[in-house]
Amino acid sequence: MMHMGETPENLWLADLWMQYRDRILRMLSLRMPAVLQRRLSVEDLLQETYLACGRRVTFLQAEPEVPMYVKLRRIALQTLTDMERHHLAAAKRDAMKEHSPEDEAAVADAWAHFADTISSPRTHLERLERQAMARRVLAQLSTNDREILELRHFEEMGNAECAAALGIEQKAASIRYVRALKRFRELINHENPYA
């Protein structure tokens, strides 16, 4: 039984949101700049994304061949962009001056964890060395390589979702991923040939 103010679309969206909420939260946590997090929590951004989804139900229900996570992700990234414009372009205190060297730590830690999955650490010192190596390798990867690896490993997207998010065929997404992973491993091995 529906309560007052509830519509079939609202119930559909609420059910849908519960299926994908954790994935959207994880993605936003990785993508949200630390400088924006000083103004807005990731949970607040997640709530703004849900509200934006409520305004875009028609978009979410269209094109059933496009994976739902990809549609939700698109709305979440647009919401993130809107919030960056609102908070970082505001004529208030300059948020960019609040930037600190630790701002890249979350992304660097994610890449370090990825490096750890390629070869398991034996000691804490080796782990720290691999983290530094992962940061150096990250700087050498192309944007396309970083993007496909982030989608597959950090956002845990499958090949079909990656293809839809990137606007390419599934076979092309698969090839891009394999090549990016190969380049990442080659750079890691070049950095540490005795690993």
| pLDDT in single tens digits along all 195 residues of the chain | 445 556 778 899 999 999 999 999 999 998 888 888 888 899 999 999 999 999 999 999 999 999 999 999 999 999 999 998 887 775 455 444 444 444 556 666 666 666 666 655 455 667 777 777 777 887 889 999 989 998 998 888 999 999 999 999 999 999 999 999 999 888 888 876 655
Q: Which two tokens mark 123?
A: 């000691």
Q: Is the dihedral of CA 122, 126, 132, 138 positive or negative?
A: negative
Q: 111 with 138: CB under 8 angstroms?
A: yes
Contacts of 23 (CB under 8 A, 6+ apart): 69, 155, 156
Q: How big is the chain by its Cα radius of gyration, in Å?
A: 19
Provide the whole-model pTM.
0.67
